[in-house]
Every structure is written in C-alpha cells, then in structure tokens.
Amino acid sequence: MQKVKQYFKEFFLSDLKAGFITSVVALPLAIGFAIASGVNPINGIYTAIIAGILGSLFGGSKFSITGPTGAMTVVILATLNKFGFEGLLIVGILAGLIQIFLGIIKVGKFVKFMPLPVISGFTAGIGLLIFIGQIPNALGIKIKSHEFVGETLLEIIYNLNKVSKTAITITTLTLLILIFLPKILNKSKYLKIIPASIIALITTTIIAVYINNPTVLPNIGTIPSGLPTFNFFKINIELIASVLPSAFTIALLGTIEALLCAVVCDGMTGTKHNSDKELISQGIVNTILPFFAGIPATAAVARSAVNIREGAKTRIAGIIHALFILTTLIFLAPLAQYIPKSFLAGILIFVSVKMINIEEMKTILHISKAETLVLFTTLGLTVLTDLVFAVQIGFVCAVFLLFIRLTNTITISHHKDIESNDIIRNKINTNKKLYDNVAVYNIEGPFFFGAMSIFDSKISEHLDVKMPHIILNLEKVPYIDSTAIVRLIEFIKHREKNDLKVYLSGTTNNVKKTLNKNKDFSALIKNNAVFFESTKHVLEHLEKSF
C-alpha cells in the first residue's frame, strides 16, 4: 500500500501525461498500419490496446510501447493475401510461440548482433513498400491488394484517370503539417507537447465531414465501439506447415524491432533492459492477440520515444496509453468513420520515408564494399521478392558478413616480420643456433576454417621444410575449431615425416581444453609437439638442448 501511495505521489501525473500524448500519436498509426496490412481499422485498434497493456506489463524494457508497426505491415499483407485472415491469426500465434521459445533459451542478447547492412536494407525496403502501397490512398483511387510491388505500380498507372484532387490535397496537407508544424510548436514552452499528428487528424477530419462525400474523399468507414472480446477460433492444422515460414519472418522482424527499440530506450533513459524477458513478453503479446482479432505487433521506436520524451517514469505509462485508446474507442468511435484514407496515407508516407535512413546508408557505402553489397541485396530482395525469401537471404548475408569479419581478424606473422625491438626476434637474431634452427609464427584472432588459407599461405611463404623447430604462438587465439585442429594435425604429421618438431606456446586454457578433446591430437602431441607457457620458455628450452 505504501508503494502505491508513493507511486501516485511521485510518478502518476508524469505517467498520465506521457500515456495520453503517446495514445494520441499511437491511435492514427494503429488505424493506418491496419489498413496498410489489409485488415479493418478495428483490428489495428484492438492490437494497440491489448499489445500496449501486455507489452508494458511483462516487458523487459520499462519504456517500450508495443503495437502495430510499419515493419510488420508488409509481411502481414502478404500472409493475408496468401492464407486469408484465418491463416494470419495462426501465424500470429506461431510467431508468438517462437518468440517465447527464443526468450526461454536466452538468444535475445544475440539478436542485437544482426549486421547493420541487413537491418538497414530490410528497414529501407519495407519503407519503400509502405510508400508504394499508400500511393493509391494518397491519390484517392481504389485498387486490389497485390503481393508484388510491380503489380501494384502497374494497377496504379492503369487507374490514374480516377485520381481525386481532394485526396491529393488532404495527403499533401497532412505531410506539410507533420513536417513543418513541429518546428513552430517547439518554439513554445506549452505548445510543443501537442503532437502534429493530432492537429493533422482534426483538420483533415473536419474537412472530410464538411465534404461528406466518400466518392470524392474516401474514408475509413464505420468502426465498432466497445471492448475487445475474446474469441476462440478453430485452428486449421493443415495450415500450420504452410504458414510456418511467415511465422518465422514475423517472429524475426518483431524480435529485431523490439530489441532495437529497447536499446534506443536505454540510450534515452540510462536504463538497462532484459533482452530475454522482452522477447518473452513480445511472444506473450503475439500469442494472445489473435484471440482478440489482433494482428502481429512489436515494440515501436517512434511511440516509445514519445513516451520517454513526454516524461514517462514507469511501465504504467504504457498501460495508460492503451487505456486512453480504449476510452477513445468506446466514446468516439462514431466520429472515426470520417477519417480520410488520404490522411492515413500522409501519416504512413511520412513514417515510411523516415524508415529509409540515408545517413546510415552513406556510412555503409563508405566503410565496405561487401557491406554495401549486402545492404542493396537485402533492400532489393525485400522490395522485389517475397519478404520471407528476403529474410532467409538476409540471414545468409549476415553469416557471410560474419565470416568475412572473422577472417579479417586473423593475422599470422613470422618473427622476421615483427619490429626490430621485439624481444623474441632479438633473442633469435643474437643466437646463431636459434637463428638457423627456429621459426616463430604468431597467430592472432580466431583460428577457424576461415583462417586456413591464411595459415597455409603464410607458412609456405616463409617456411623452409628443413627448419628443425617451428613455434606456433597461440597466446592471442581466443578459440579454435575442428577444421583448424585437423589442419594442425596434418601440419604436425607432415613435420614428423621429416623428423622435425612443432611447439605450441602461450596456449589459453580454453584452446588447450578444446585441443585435448581431440583424441588424434592428444596422441600426436605426446611425441611431436609440446605445450609451453610462452615462446620465451620454448627458446630457453631449445638453447639448453643445442
């Protein structure tokens, strides 16, 4: 009870204000993303309410706001076109279960290591798809929903004679308000808290009420008022196998977006989120949403940033935001039918353009050709092919980039390549027997299959086969894989045939433990290679034996 009193005394008003402002931003986005996803506006509103409450209640990030997002719309629309609404509901449940499983096995912390070019390519591609998908609403024309962007563009061209100047005006007005009004409002201490989107919504809706002609200015239609109700639906077992790829895609996109959002929130507030808890909470949200006719959701950076900027102190702010949306639905639903689709098009076009991060792309372009290739490959596949396929190729690209980076981290240097003031080089150069009989190779970085070509080329570049003693300094090798172990065995056996010796120096406990697990290596090393604490100790040992 004392904690409750303390909360209302210290934090409630801040959370109330943040929750209200966030709900004002979230409501039109929920409706817009629902329409962009091919479902009814009420499905988006239900999603914002249920996801907002559950995401804030169970989340691993105190300030993240969960609901419908732009990233989800493309794959939801594709799923809807392919499997219908029943298939979409099943996909939502499966995606949620996948996220819960990933959270339980604690992979949340690894998702954040997804390469930037892949994430940037996906995000920009989805932004382009949302932009193109909203052109019909912006022009006031009605077309069929298509899975591929080319078909959408062709049908837009065929219907250009049906363009509504009024719809174009509303879209343009919305964009102008969203772009320029914040700059004016931010000059005032009191007016800067007013979201530009609510001004655009009120202005365009008044115009729509005045015109009152859906043919000239199409609107979103009737929205039923009342509480979301639980609906148990029969799950079609035959559909499960077919929709699994879409479920994995939604789970992946939702996971990446939620965890990136949590990282952004941490940066803005100085807090630290729990990745696995956040992942489980997102899974709970997506598993429950289908039973309330909700669509897949995830935490969104834009709404979460508003929540933080407006002074949220606890996770209660997210719950309050959802309750404000629910209150609006109950009392103001009849007015919502007048909201122009062209207004929502303006909102979504504004969001989609922001998803294409030009500065991020410039950074990638200047850093690496390989990363640039991955960026545009992912972007192109996202726009031009099935998003599920784009996600799969994105994963391949991620592994490809990881391989390149790991390969580039490995260096193998001969002692003669090291600067003249090096202790080991000086010791060998000042002792003729060591100089004539010993070669030292310093290996730095992960010794794995990607490093084998470097190992072979470096050894063959310097190695005199008759050099009696080879020292492999492994003190800067964090791990070794099976491919490297097999290659090391082959190298030692080759040396053995010429009655030559190999010494391993500075081997870490982790690497030594891995080496000893291999029976062939353990048997071989007894006679042909020796572990030493350091290269210096090997040289001292050899000095005594000469």
Question: Burial of 430 by CB count in 10 Å (0-12 exposed, 13-18 middle, 19+ buried)?
Answer: exposed
Distance CA 362, CA 335 (A): 44
Instruction: Report pLDDT digits (tens) over 205-264.
Output: 999 988 888 877 888 888 888 888 888 877 778 888 889 989 998 998 899 889 888 888
DSSP 357-403: -HHHHHHHHHH-HHHHHHHHHHHHHHHHS-HHHHHHHHHHHHHHHHH
Q: pTM (2 decimals)?
A: 0.74
Q: Are 471 and 439 spatial neighbours (Cβ–Cβ below 8 Å)? A: yes
pLDDT number for residue 10? 83
- Separation CA 342–CA 208 (nearest Å): 10
Residue 422's contacts (CB-CB under 8 Å, 6 or more residues apart) are 415
pLDDT score recorded for residue 62: 92
Q: What's residue 459's pLDDT? A: 67
Which pLDDT score is estimated for 466? 66
Amino acid 508: pLDDT: 85
Give Cα separations from 457 to 316, 412, 461 (angstroms): 61, 10, 6
Distance CA 211, CA 310 (A): 35
Q: Which strand (E) or helix (H) includes residue 443?
A: strand 438-444
| DSSP secondary structure letter of residue 316 | H
Residue 134 near residue 351, CB atoms below 8 Å: no
Contact between residue 273 and residue 60 where contact means Cβ atoms under 8 Å apart? yes
Over its C-alpha atoms, the chain yields an Rg (Å, rounded) of 30
Burial class (CB in 10 A: 0-12, 13-18, 19+), 144: exposed
Rounded to 5°, angle at Cα 542 from 414 and 544: 150
Name the maximum alpha-carbon separation found in the chain: 102
Burial of 185 (0-12, 13-18, 19+ CB in 10 A): middle
Taking the C-alpha atoms of residue 107 and residue 101, their distance in angstroms, rounded to an integer, is: 9
DSSP element (H, E) containing 36: helix 12-36
- Residue 296 DSSP symbol: P
Structural domains in the chain, CATH included, are 2-404 (no CATH), 411-545 (3.30.750.24)
Count CB atoms within 10 A of the CB of residue 183: 9
Residue 68, SS3? coil
Q: Are the C-beta atoms of 269 and 252 separated by less than 8 Å?
A: no
How many whole angstroms separate alpha carbon 334 and alpha carbon 330?
9
Q: Residue 463: what pLDDT?
A: 54
pLDDT given at position 420? 46
Q: Which amino acid, one-letter code, is at 253?
A: L
Instruction: Tell me the CA distances in angstroms from 348 to 69, 266, 337, 352, 353, one per residue in order.
Output: 10, 26, 18, 6, 9
Spatial distance between the Cα atoms of 434 and 30, rounded to a whole number of angstroms: 75
For 291-344, how does the pLDDT look when each residue is reduced to its tens digit (9 = 90+)? 999 999 999 888 898 899 888 999 999 999 999 999 999 988 888 788 899 998
Structure-block tokens of residue 304: 């979460």
Q: Contact 65/52 with Cβ under 8 angstroms?
A: yes
Q: Report, as ranges of residue numbers, the positions in the chain whose pLDDT lies below 70.
A: 1, 110-114, 145-147, 386-388, 391, 405-410, 413-422, 459-466, 525-529
For the record, the structure tokens of 116 come out as 């930037």
Chain centroid to CA 454: how far? 33
Q: Which of 354, 348, 397 has its CA nearest to residue 124?
A: 354
Contact 174, 109 (CB under 8 A): no
